[in-house]
Amino acid sequence: MTNYLWIFWAILGAVLVVAEIFTTGFVLLWFGIGALAAGLAGLLGVHSIIAQFLIFAIVSIALTAASRTIFVNYFSREKSGGDLKTGVEGLPGKIGTVVSSSRGPLHEGAVKVFGSTWTAYPAAGEEPLEAGDRVEVDRIQGASIYVKRIEAGRDWRGKELNS
C-alpha cells in the first residue's frame, strides 16, 4: 500500500493547485506543491507515511511563510517609513481650487482636489475662501480639509510653473 501512496499525494496536490484558482487566499497552492513534493518523494523511494507527511508539512509551511514574508514586505508599507501615501493620507500638501466661496460663521466652502470636492475651511489665520482661489491642503480633520492660499506660480501638483 505504501508503495502507491505517492498517487494519493499527487492527486491531492493536483486538487489543491486547481482549488487555488477558485480561492483568494493564495495558500492552497503551497499545500498543493507540498503534496506534490511528498508524492515525488514517495515515487523516488521514501515509503514511510510519516516521512512523506513530514515532507508535505515542511514544504507547505516553508512556502507559505516565505510567500507571506515576501508579500507583506512588497505590498505594505509602514505609515511612518514609506514614502507612498494614498487616499486621504496623500492630501496634505496637494493643490486645489475653491469652487464655492466661504459662508457661515465657520467660513465653510468647497475645494476641488484631484477631481473630488471636499468641504473646506480656511486654515488658522487665513481669510475666507473665494471661488477660484488656488489653495494648498494644510490638514485633514474628519471629512473636512483645512486649506491655505498659495501663490499663483504653483500648479495642481505643487510644482513651480515655468512662466
pLDDT confidence of residue 75: 66
Domain extents for the chain? Answer: 2-75, 87-149
Contact 122, 107 (CB under 8 A): yes
Q: Confidence band (pLDDT; 50, 70, 90) for 3? A: confident
Q: Confidence band (pLDDT; 50, 70, 90) for 92? A: confident
More confident residue, 2 or 143: 143
Residues 87-149: name the CATH superfamily. Nucleic acid-binding proteins (2.40.50.140)
pLDDT tens digits for 102-156? 888 888 899 998 778 888 999 888 888 889 888 999 988 888 889 998 876 655 5
Looking at the DSSP assignment, which residues form a beta bridge with residue 143?
none
pLDDT confidence of residue 79: 46
pLDDT confidence of residue 78: 53
Output the average pLDDT for the chain.
Answer: 84
Quick one: what percent of the chain has pLDDT higher than 70? 83
6: CB partners within 8 A, 6+ apart: 38, 39, 40, 41, 42, 43, 52
Mean pLDDT of 64-90: 69
pLDDT confidence of residue 85: 64
d(CA 20, CA 1): 29
pLDDT confidence of residue 125: 85
d(CA 157, CA 43): 62
Mean pLDDT of 29-41: 95
Say whether pLDDT at 57 is over 70: yes
More confident residue, 73 or 100: 100
pLDDT confidence of residue 52: 94
pLDDT confidence of residue 12: 95
